[in-house]
Structure 1
Amino acid sequence: MLFSETPRELEFSGRLIARPDQALMRRPDGEAAARDAVHLAIEAFTLIEHVAATDEYLLALPDGVSENDAAAELLATGLFQYVEPDWICYPASSNCPNDPRLDRQWHHATNIMQSCEGWALFTGDPGVTVAICDTGVRVTHQDLLLHRKPGYNAVDRLWEGEGGQITDINGHGTGVLGAAAANGNNGVGVSGVGWNLGHRMMRITNSQAGGSTISTITHAARTAVENGDRVASVSYAGTTTDTARTTATYIKSKGGLLVWAAGNGGSFLHTDRDADDLIVVGATNPADERWINSNYGSYVDLFAPGDDIHTTTNGGDRKYGSPSGTSYAAPLVAGLIGLIWSAEPTLTPDEVEHLLKQGCDDLGAPGVDSVFGYGRINVYKTLRDSVAPVLWDYPDGFPAIIDPTGGTSMRVTVSPYGYTGVEGTARLHYHDGVQWRSTLMPHLGGNLYQAVFPPLPCGSVTRYYFSIRIAMGVRAYDPPEAPDRCFIAPVVREPVFVDLFETDQGWTVSSDTLLSGQWERGVPAGDGSRGDPPTDSDGSGQCYLTGNAPGNSDVDGGPTRLFSPILDLSGGLDYHITYARWFTTDRPGDWLRVHISNDGGDTWTLVERVGNGAGWQTTRFRVADVIAPTSQVMLRFQVADQPDDSITEAAIDAFMVLPDSCRVVTTSLTNAVVTRGTLVSGSFVDLIVSDNVALRARSAPEEGGAGVHSMYLRVDAQTDAVNPSDLDVRIETRIDDVAAAGKVMMRNWVLNRFEEVASYAVGLDEVVIDVKGLNGATYVRASDGRLQVQLRHTAAVLLFGSSFDTWVDHVRIVVRE
């Protein structure tokens, strides 16, 4: 069987568990010899441990060897009962605390903040304190007793121990503090997001109405951080004041962060959210939409749940309620910040803020937008990157294409904050079109690794991502959302032309009656709020886009046209053109039109007409389906806003001209010969289709191998390929014995000998061996297109004179040029 990872459930560790065949180990006449054979079979591996109680060997894989390949190699010896990965297993439990009212706290749910999943990684450190600047706290509430730090009365400027009053004078503060840090897993009430954090009340009012001056509020926040608290949270008005921003900058300079509620006026707040150090928080409702009364806009950094938040109240020591407001969103953010610093205390405030924002779930328009900012906080995603924060870098960039025969490589730099990666755990994960697989990345020294892609199906688009185990058994990923979001690349031969628009390769622009929004090349400057792309499509940085400027920079009038350089497609190949496109418009009559010319631009043929879409999308078309390829091919991308009455944005990226090197060529079976053993029935004709009418062959004893039988079947084939690039071999087979070791051999015409291309275990049930991406130049004879495949089955037979039979139902060979 093939082993496949399930990310964050079962993951490869770079180690195997192998148990010898216990029937062989119990044979009185051969136990010692069998044990010696086992030790010989595993000598290529590093033996970590032999568990005598279960007779299992724990083996470390050599560099560059996958779990599947190593397991197949060991099983093919016939010496092992099983060989399987030493899986990294993740908790099946969600680690939810035992608080009986947790089910009423919708904001902790898996489809919202994923709090329980986050708490499975980290529940907080009581030594990290969240300061709540509010109306006071009910100090005797059953859910606020643990980890409470001495409070402070900012009006009287007295600490609790000096007589400062911190009891809740209004009722607001007890609920706010409960949202941030109500004690969890104590069998009562609710759970705050940081239920194992320290918490401190900084009372900012002595009025039952709750009013306070902005100077008192900022004094409380400064005092908290000056006394060691990592984050101060304010659920009052005043978020847009200059003094709030100045205080936030001061607090950040002291190693802390200041969080402030956006307010409940339902208003748009202007100015740039990233131009200050204040974290401004809006509120969402249970439908994951903006709570109707929450302020929003370009000043708001992010959102958190704030509608119907079940929390502690001041009505009694066992009382709870479900108030609404940005007042309850801000402390959720403050609690999450406390969790981040608990997980990694050495992070700077800027790093914590970055992790907080990058961990948000995107709401509204794609990317950072003018309503939700960076999105709504997610406890699990943020802590996943905080417990083992990693900076990933790719010194040589990403491959534009992946060679179908394998060997495409890229360097990967992994820089964990405060940790080193666990040796032998850096992996490249890739999808082969059927399932996820992974391979170890060789360590080049320091933080540098090398990812090498194996053979992959030609003509496909593969998805891939990277991971490494860091601290406390946690595995870090890039992209962090993998495998839901991955890097992608086409699996094709070397392209004729590639332009990721990082340099000028001869594109030109012309416009008619255009008021604004001409095509230009650059790094996207907008934030996506007006339909413009916030980033390029391939991660390289630049693209071509219309009106590259923040704010109102869309196409007005026009058209504006982007022309490719002249492309020579006269080489007689089957050319395909692919590109990424972005087009948004709020008027149905506006289009992105793509044309192609084969006479240098004198005449044009329409390729596609694109209406309003969501995000980057990839187009691929066969040139010959539209025009006859010549040496004078050009592409034209045209956008207009006519009449000038809409918001229209367009972009083009990752432009490539690809020869279709994946053309399948006719390949026919011509003969089948049993070269060891005897033919019982059938011929090569029975191998042509999968129809349960099989060729049958009987094994013969091996010379000098007492009790060992084998069967060799050679299959000959012929292909019309002139320049074979790669080939696949698929075989269906079974035997009438419990187990045998199988190998697929191909004749290497360069060396004129058979060599192994796959190994497997075969038994009573039919197995399908699928070998992909073999080198065509090696295994197809250049003079006449001949191929030879050999199937080898070897098994130990217990009875003298006995043998085993092999059935082969189907052999398929696919050759591509």
Structure 2
Amino acid sequence: MKNFPLHLLLSVLFLVTWFPISVGAEGTMDTEEADRYIIGFEQSIDLNVLEKTEYTLHHEYEGIQAISASLDRTAVHTLQNDPRIAWIEEDQKVTADRQVRNWGFSSVGADTTKKLKVNGSGVKVAVIDTGINRDHPDLKVAGGKNFVDDVNSYEDDNGHGSHVAGVINAQDNGLGTLGVAPAASMYAVKALDSDGIGNEADVIAGIDWAIQNGMDIINLSLTSPQSSTGLEKIIKKARDQGIFVIAASGNDKSGNGQLTKDVMYPARYDSVIGVGAIDEDETIAEYSYQGESLDFVAPGTQIYSTYMDTEEGNYAHMSGTSMAAPYVSGIIALYKSQFPDLTYLEITNLLNKHVKDLGVKGKDKTYGEGLIQAPISLFIDLKASDWFTPFVNELSQSQMIKGYPDYTFRPQGDITRQEVITLIGRALELNGEKRDTMYTDVTKYHYGSGYIASATSREIVTGYPDQTFKPEANITRADVAVMVYRAFDIPASNERVFEDVDPDKYYYEAIHSLANEDIITGYSETEFKPLKPITRAEFSSILAKTLNGSLR
């Protein structure tokens, strides 16, 4: 027996009116007397199955071999027994749970990402909702589609869609608020009406449109208490094509969200990233649905964002898991923008790796993996908890350092003499034009030859007695101290700090001068290990501290 599921809901919730295209054996169906259904076919769509039935066709979904149509309930039994039909279900309603600056921006770590100039550029995000306020000065809409009626406009006539869009994409223009990914391309897919309510069929059509138009991310701030074959199929199709589908976990208006067995649909589907809401104190919001299908939580209570024009202006505070979902959509846009070659699974792993764990350790039914976090670095192998991350960020922000083609920095790897001089040369703005040098093993074909030549003329560096420089050799902690000391205006000091640094060695003054300026540190208060190779992380911290005293 085929299922006939109930209506869908949104997570700040909404319903949709429609103005259908009429098709039928005997003419237009009276839609006030008909019920809406979504009909899936075993193979290709075949409208001949409806030739003896009055019906009104609303959508065709080639991607999942299905249609949505209005027809008399008495015709459903006949269709169920037709071998060409795979499944039939009632067209549910979708809604958005509305409760009514922005603390969420900092809570998800977007301040750091903004400093790194990662902004979602090049990523396409579809907000399937009530539309978006295209005239809002803080929103930039790249395009869209209206599936609610035959009006060629995806203008927001409710406010919910504009609020959701602002969390993701409010522009970095000094106005109102700032979205997590202000440079992402935002598309308004209107599937909910002025009351915030819509037919599931229109949502499916919106997802299908997003697939066909090459969206990278789909935001669904909407929910339903029951599953839907059509919705699950189209979402799986999106996921199989590498599209991230993010959905709100749902709002329990009784305030007993902690008692729910699982999140609502579509957040419960395996192909969807389900998002719950937290309050400003980073505890689960009392209205937020929870359960084993929850993937992440994000800020959801009293979120300040863009809105439609009202007497109070075009911004508003709203609460709900509808507000939490777009934080995740925006953050995924940041990851895709910064690491465009990573796969769906690789980005998902990064989200899990950098999440802020809340509640019990590890994944749980209340917080999922935890509080979603924006990229904390331009490299995938750095963590917020790594002591060297602020220093690497400082240098990468100024484009002084770069990682490897696989987006890694390899902080514990050794660094060569050529690399160190190149970085010092960039910092000092030396002439880096590649050219022959006085060293027999450094020619104009070495990427650092220009900086090596310039640094040599400035007596920052010297070679070996055999007239070689050994550009690919790993450099020691002592030699780095000497080069930095010679290159920058570091006050001299012979005050001894490290007992393992011999006063008779050429590097003694350099090491202790940098130590007294808090530029370098040892392995302990008395041990420096001067002849140990320096790591990329250690050198980054030394250079960043030298250039920026605020990081010391």
Q: What TM-score, normalized by structure 2, do the two folds share?
A: 0.51
Find the residue that maps to 1:149 and give its secondary structure. strand
Distance in 1, Cα, partners of 2:512 & 2:250: 70
Q: How does 1:241-320 map to 2 (within 5 A)?
A: 241-243=227-229, 244-265=231-252, 266=257, 267-270=259-262, 276-316=270-310, 318-320=313-315
Distance in 1, Cα, partners of 2:185 & 2:164: 15
Distance in 2, Cα, partners of 1:769 & 1:339: 41
Corresponding position of 1:388: 379
Q: CA deviation at 1:426?
A: 4.5
Find the residue that maps to 1:315 and give its secondary structure. strand
Determine whether 1:212 maps to 2:198.
Answer: yes
Distance 1:421 1:270, change over 3 A: closer
1:54-94 Cα distance to aligned partner (Å, 9 max, x none): xxxxxxxxxxxxxxxxxxxxxxxxxxxxxxxxxxxxxxxxx
AA matched with 1:357: N
Find the residue that maps to 1:310 and give its secondary structure. strand
Distance 1:127 1:770, change over 3 A: closer
AA matched with 2:342: L
Corresponding position of 1:107: 104
Corresponding position of 1:121: 116
1:185-244 Cα distance to aligned partner (Å, 9 max, x none): x12111111112111110003x43222122321221231132011101011112762544
Q: 1:229 aligns with which of 215, 225, 228?
A: 215
C-alpha contact 1:390 1:417 (8 A) present in aligned 2: no
Distance in 1, Cα, partners of 2:496 & 2:374: 49
Corresponding position of 1:332: 327
Determine whether 1:199 maps to 2:194.
Answer: no
Distance 1:755 1:341, change over 3 A: closer
Find the residue that maps to 2:145 and give its secondary structure. strand
Unaligned stretches of 5+ residues in structure 1: 1-103, 393-415, 429-439, 444-468, 474-736, 747-753, 775-817
Distance in 1, Cα, partners of 2:493 & 2:379: 46
Q: How does 1:512-527 map to 2 (within 5 A)?
A: none
Distance in 1, Cα, partners of 2:169 & 2:108: 15
1:636-664 Cα distance to aligned partner (Å, 9 max, x none): xxxxxxxxxxxxxxxxxxxxxxxxxxxxx
Distance in 1, Cα, partners of 2:357 & 2:512: 51
Corresponding position of 1:459: none
AA matched with 2:147: A
C-alpha contact 2:498 2:525 (8 A) present in aligned 1: no
Higher helix share: 2
Corresponding position of 2:137: 142
Distance in 1, Cα, partners of 2:121 & 2:143: 13
Q: How does 1:612-691 map to 2 (within 5 A)?
A: none
Distance in 2, Cα, partners of 1:314 & 1:757: 71
Distance in 2, Cα, partners of 1:739 & 1:369: 55
Distance 1:121 1:247, change over 3 A: farther
C-alpha contact 2:495 2:512 (8 A) present in aligned 1: no
Corresponding position of 1:353: 348
AA matched with 1:315: D
Distance in 2, Cα, partners of 1:293 & 1:742: 57
Determine whether 1:760 maps to 2:494.
Answer: no
C-alpha contact 1:181 1:193 (8 A) present in aligned 2: yes
Q: How does 1:700-715 map to 2 (within 5 A)?
A: none
AA matched with 2:508: Y
Distance in 1, Cα, partners of 2:168 & 2:241: 22
C-alpha contact 1:107 1:113 (8 A) present in aligned 2: yes
Find the residue that maps to 1:312 and give its secondary structure. strand
Percent of pairs with identical residues = 26
Corresponding position of 2:371: 376
Distance 1:349 1:219, change over 3 A: farther
C-alpha contact 2:497 2:512 (8 A) present in aligned 1: no
C-alpha contact 2:211 2:238 (8 A) present in aligned 1: yes
Distance in 1, Cα, partners of 2:359 & 2:228: 29
C-alpha contact 1:745 1:758 (8 A) present in aligned 2: no
Q: CA deviation at 1:375?
A: 0.4
AA matched with 2:281: A
Distance in 2, Cα, partners of 1:345 & 1:262: 28
Distance in 1, Cα, partners of 2:281 & 2:406: 39
Find the residue that maps to 1:217 and give its secondary structure. helix
AA matched with 1:427: Q
Find the residue that maps to 1:313 and give its secondary structure. strand
Distance 1:741 1:141, change over 3 A: closer
1:437-468 Cα distance to aligned partner (Å, 9 max, x none): xxx3789xxxxxxxxxxxxxxxxxxxxxxxxx
Q: CA deviation at 1:744?
A: 8.1
Q: 1:176 aligns with which of 159, 164, 175?
A: 164
Higher strand share: 1
Distance in 2, Cα, partners of 1:741 & 1:291: 56
Distance in 1, Cα, partners of 2:512 & 2:245: 67
Q: How does 1:586-601 map to 2 (within 5 A)?
A: none
Q: CA deviation at 1:770?
A: 3.9
Q: CA deviation at 1:135?
A: 0.8
Superposition RMSD in Å: 4.3
C-alpha contact 1:125 1:196 (8 A) present in aligned 2: yes
Q: 1:167 aligns with which of 150, 155, 160?
A: 155
Distance in 2, Cα, partners of 1:745 & 1:192: 52
AA matched with 1:388: F
Determine whether 1:341 maps to 2:318.
Answer: no
* Greater relative CO, 1 or 2 (CA 8 Å, sep 6+): 2
Corresponding position of 1:155: 148
Distance in 2, Cα, partners of 1:211 & 1:764: 69
Distance in 2, Cα, partners of 1:299 & 1:328: 19
Distance in 2, Cα, partners of 1:224 & 1:349: 17
Q: How does 1:458-537 map to 2 (within 5 A)?
A: none
Distance 1:338 1:239, change over 3 A: farther
Corresponding position of 1:362: 357
Distance in 2, Cα, partners of 1:337 & 1:764: 45
Distance in 1, Cα, partners of 2:155 & 2:346: 35
Distance in 2, Cα, partners of 1:760 & 1:187: 51
C-alpha contact 1:269 1:299 (8 A) present in aligned 2: no
Determine whether 1:427 maps to 2:421.
Answer: no
Q: CA deviation at 1:119?
A: 1.3
C-alpha contact 1:283 1:294 (8 A) present in aligned 2: yes
1:258-300 Cα distance to aligned partner (Å, 9 max, x none): 0111000115243999981210100001111111100011111
Find the residue that maps to 2:303 and give its secondary structure. coil
Q: CA deviation at 1:114?
A: 1.9
Unaligned stretches of 5+ residues in structure 2: 1-100, 384-402, 418-422, 428-491, 517-523, 531-552
Distance in 2, Cα, partners of 1:335 & 1:764: 46
C-alpha contact 1:258 1:279 (8 A) present in aligned 2: yes
C-alpha contact 1:281 1:330 (8 A) present in aligned 2: yes
C-alpha contact 1:230 1:257 (8 A) present in aligned 2: yes
| Aligned residue-pair number | 322
